[in-house]
Chain A
Amino acid sequence: MMKPAKNSHRITGLLSVLAAAALLIVRPALHPVHAAAAQTPTCRELLVNGGFEEGGTGWSQVSAGGYNLISGFHPHTGSLGAYLGGANQADDRLSQPIALPAGVVSATLSFWWAIATEEPPGTAFDRLTVSLRSTDGAPLADLTTIDNNAVENQWDQAEFDLTGYGGQSLILEFHATTDANNITDFYVDDVSLVVCPAPKTYLPVLFR
């Protein structure tokens, strides 16, 4: 049998750990960017010219049809945005290298997108794939694929947690392909990658 004084210390310690665990569990799930922004003013934007207002600055673009993928045709905000697809047999790529620092507590990629299409519903004939590649071009992850079945002419925001890629150099790519008829326009704007370093944490002293 344990000594009463030792038992008391152990139980007090156990209560403290349980209380701390409870606080961690019941803490409301906050949006990582917002939470980090509230706690750490050092969050920063990693992408260059995510709103496309400086034209092609920061972006690499390849279009099978030879189109300028930065266009004033249908921006979400400002006067310029990305305009991929929009023609038959389109194969358009818009990319930007990113270097995610190590030790970030959050890295959130977000962008606004919309489509216009002549495709009938039912099958994904035309697609916009958002992916991450290694700097040598090897595919790492497809974050999302938007196709012609999406609701037309409604801007929507997509958001992804890239925290797990901390410490890596990557390429963010938007890749649109369309088939032989019935065109689909893919519009992308206000692309953002906000990273927040780990905040300084102060642990409560639970034991003497």
Chain B
Amino acid sequence: MNARNLRRLSRILSALLLAVLLCLPVPLAQAEPTTPHPVVKFAGVINAVPPAADYPLGVWQVAGRAVTVTAATRVLPARPVAVPGMWADVTARPAADGTLVAQRIAVMPAEVRIKGPIGEKPADPTGVGTWLIAGVSITVTAETRLSERGAALEVGGWAEVFATETPTGLVAVRLRGIEAQEDITVFGAIQSFDDTRWVLSSIPITVITDTLIIGTPAVGLLAMADATLQADGSLQAWRLKVSVLEPGSYHQPISFTGTVEALPPRGLLGVWTVAGRQVVVSAGTAINQTKGPVAVGAQVYVAGWQANDRVIATLIVVLSSPQASGQFVRFSGLVQQMPANGLIGEWRIADRTVLVTERTRLAGTRYARVGARAEVGGMQAADGTVTATWLIIWPSAGGPR
């Protein structure tokens, strides 16, 4: 072979090497753009799915939005095939033409979820019959699966029910006993909404001016209501969270965990210092104290959004507290005794000693009197004393049933 042939072979080798490089799994020409597209997340009712021959590839309609599923989309579960009416949790990216390309779609059965107190249960020991959970009538059939592993399914206790809508009402698929929670929650599909009333999977929810609404509602999207049970058996939302995240549509969420370094001089509302950050806590901030009371030195999880140099908190969860002792309890009953002066001090409610502190969140204080009906959440010490993290006093005709 002469020098000319060697040069020719060298060129062939170079071309072959170039071809190999171009065929590598992540070619440079298809690399991710340096600026990531915003991610869109939402959950809603599936309106349409691609034809069976193409499934799951093609265009899905979820809560009225078209979402393209490609071979790169993770579809969970892959089988059985989703059908209209089921629910889907979608994570997608807007393409250059504005259409949504799904990264992940989790298909779920259309099961409304309610966590709340059991108001009534049928006499039938098998549980078959009509239950009243968080004021909502639920039919339990022989096919309903029950679990009392977490707590007994008894009147006055709490339950989580997963139910499907039928022409005759909500029918329970699963029903599990749980511990008392700080709030009643309803998770379902938005069927209608206005300034005074939302309907989630056939369950009406009253909305008042103080109700905190997170996200922009739309029919077909899923939403979670944190609510209280009214005297008439209706549910009134203090917070409604729509399962949608549209970048740019509202403040981008942030969350972090840290130690509480400072609290407002009185009460919980105001500016906290958590891990060196200024955190604004308002009446609309949910504070979960089931793991312990708020205190300086407590470890907390903060969720909210950044506003200039401060964090506006929508949720604070106490993860651990130096004052933690005992178990979170929730109960209601008549006020039997109040402090001599003001509201801070020792109460007697439903035959239990309740300590109301400056950190206790109070509602309905204008109704406070011996004989009023009250609802308490707090930490119960070994001697039975409950340090209230919140206390609601109801009008004479009000209160939970």
Q: Is this pair of chains taken from one and the same complex?
A: yes
Interface residues of A, Cβ cutoff 8 Å to B = 4, 7-8, 11, 14-15, 18-19, 21-22, 25-26, 28-29, 65, 67, 71-74, 76, 83, 86-88, 112, 116, 118, 120-123, 125, 151, 153-157, 180-183, 185
Residue pair B301, A19 in contact (C-beta under 8 Å): no
Give B1-27 as 1s and 0s: 1 = Cβ < 8 Å from A's Cβ atoms: 110001001001100110110011100
Given A151-B89, A153-B108, A156-B106: A116 touches B149 (CB 8 Å cut-off): no
A154–B76 contact, CB under 8 A?
Answer: yes
User: Do the beta carbons of B257 and A183 come within 8 Å of each other?
Assistant: no
State whether the Cβ of B179 lies closer than 8 Å to any Cβ in chain A: yes
Given the complex of chains A and B, what is the CA–CA distance between A181 and B328 in angstroms? Answer: 8
Q: With contacts A18-B13, A72-B145, A123-B319 known, is A182 near B290, CB below 8 A?
A: yes
From residue A89, how far is it (CB to closest CB) to chain B in Å?
12
Residues 345-367 of B contacting A (Cβ, < 8 Å): none
Q: Which residues does chain B contribute within 8 Å of A156, judged by CB atoms?
A: 76, 106
Contact yes or no, B77 A112, CB < 8 A: yes
Partner of B145, one of A21, A73, A182: A73
Residue of A nearest to B80 (CB): A77
B 293-333 binary contact with A (CB < 8 Å = 1; else 0): 00000011101000000000001010100000001100000
Set of chain A residues within 8 Å of B300, measured between Cβ atoms:
122
- CB-CB under 8 A from B201, the residues of chain A are none
Complex interface bits, B169-182 against A, C-beta within 8 A gives 1, otherwise 0: 00000101011010
Inter-chain contact A22/B20, CB cutoff 8 Å: yes
A181 to chain B, nearest CB (A): 6
* Residue in A11, A71, A118 whose CB lies within 8 Å of B178: A118
* Residues 230-259 of B at the A interface (beta carbon under 8 Å): 255, 257
A19-B16, A72-B145, A86-B149 known; A118+B179 contact, CB < 8 A: yes
Interface of B is mostly: strand
Supply 14 further A-B pairs (C-beta < 8 A) apart from A155-B106, A157-B76.
A7-B1, A11-B1, A14-B13, A15-B16, A18-B17, A26-B20, A26-B24, A83-B147, A87-B150, A122-B257, A122-B317, A151-B106, A183-B149, A185-B150
Q: How far is the CA of A122 from the CA of B76 in the complex (A)?
A: 25
Q: Which of A67, A71, A72, A120 interacts with B301 by CB under 8 Å?
A: A120
Residues on B lying within 8 angstroms of A by beta carbon are 1-2, 6, 9, 12-13, 16-17, 19-20, 23-25, 76-77, 89, 106, 108, 111, 113, 115, 145-147, 149-151, 160, 162, 174, 176, 178-179, 181, 255, 257, 288, 290-291, 299-301, 303, 315, 317, 319, 327-328
Contact status A123-B16, CB under 8 Å: no
The chain B residue with its CB closest to the CB of A152 is B113
Cross-chain contact of B174 among A14, A74, A125 (Cβ < 8 A): A74
Q: Is the CB of A153 within 8 A of B113?
A: yes
Chain A residues with CB under 8 A of B319: 122-123
A-B contact pairs, 14 of them (CB 8 A): A22-B19, A29-B25, A83-B147, A86-B149, A87-B150, A118-B150, A122-B301, A123-B299, A154-B106, A155-B106, A180-B327, A181-B327, A185-B147, A185-B149
Q: A39 vs B23: C-alpha distance in the bound complex, in angstroms?
A: 23
Minimal Cβ-Cβ distance residue in A for B160: A116
CA–CA, A144 and B35, complex, Å: 31
Among all A-B residue pairs, the 9 with the closest Cβ atoms: A122-B301, A120-B317, A26-B23, A86-B149, A183-B150, A4-B1, A22-B20, A120-B288, A154-B106
Would A183 and B178 count as touching, CB distance under 8 A? yes
Which residues of A sit under 8 angstroms from B328, Cβ to Cβ? 181
Taking a contact as CB atoms under 8 Å apart, the answer to whether B174 and A73 are in contact is: yes
Which of chain B's residues have a CB closer than 8 A to the CB of A76? 77
Residue contact B13 to A181, C-beta cutoff 8 Å = no
| Chain B residues, CB < 8 A from A14 | 13
Whether B317 pairs with A4 at a CB distance below 8 angstroms is: no
> Which residue on B lies nearest to A180, using beta carbons?
B327
B287 shortest CB reach to chain A, Å? 10
A157 CB, min distance to chain B CBs, angstroms: 7
Which residues of A are found within 8 Å of B160, using beta-carbon distances?
Answer: 116, 118
Bound: A25/B179 CA distance, A? 56
List of A residues within 8 angstroms of B111 by Cβ: 153
List of B residues within 8 angstroms of A67 by Cβ: 149
Tell me which residues across on chain A come within 8 A of B19, comparing CB atoms: 22
Assembly CA distance A72 to B149 (angstroms)? 13
With both chains docked as a complex, state the minimum distance between the C-beta of B397 and any C-beta of chain A, in angstroms.
31
